[in-house]
Amino acid sequence: MKVQLEGITLLTNDVSRLAHFYRDVMGFQCVVDESHYAEFQNEGVRLAICLNALMADNTNNHHSFIEERKGQAVELNFQLESPEQVHQVYDDLVRKGATPITSPQLKSWGHTTGFFADPDGNIHSLFAVNPL
């Protein structure tokens, strides 16, 4: 049996606010926009946002969907074609409302990487592999 990752769902108490960020700041096209769930068009892995209360209901009120989240739970990594694009896109995202965490810089593993946060505090990265 082969298991394949099909999608990533971000959990939130405010679907509208988070969906607005991924649509208007990140530039994803929203294909499902409901008060409790949003889904975005993306090649490869599906990106969705779901209301914590809905997931609690779906799992017979499992405590992990009811308790307040503490700390980083997920990081999305967005790859770009060049280090220059990382700098440009990072500046654009921050200008549109992303929270800057660490501006793009060359890392020891050979990527130019910058970190930003969405409105729920999820920290994500933009990166490009540096040419040798």
Q: For 80-107, what is each residue's pLDDT tens digit?
A: 999 999 999 999 999 999 999 999 999 9
Task: For residue 109, name the pLDDT band (cuts at 50, 70, 90).
Answer: very high
Residue 4 has pLDDT above 90, yes or no: no
- In one letter, which amino acid is 95? R
Output the CA–CA distances (angstroms, integers) from residue 18 to 11, 12, 27, 63, 106, in the order listed: 9, 8, 13, 22, 29
Evaluate whether the domain defined by 77-129 bears CATH number 3.10.180.10: yes
Residue 1 has pLDDT above 90, yes or no: no
Output the CA–CA distances (angstroms, integers) from residue 4 to 9, 50, 57, 74, in the order listed: 15, 21, 26, 18
Q: Using an 8 Å Cβ cutoff, are 36 and 49 in contact?
A: no
Residue 5 has pLDDT above 90, yes or no: no
Q: Which CATH class name applies to 7-66?
A: alpha beta
Both tokens assigned to 100: 């800057």
Ranges of CATH 3.10.180.10 domains, the chain: 7-66, 77-129
Strand partners of residue 49:
10, 38
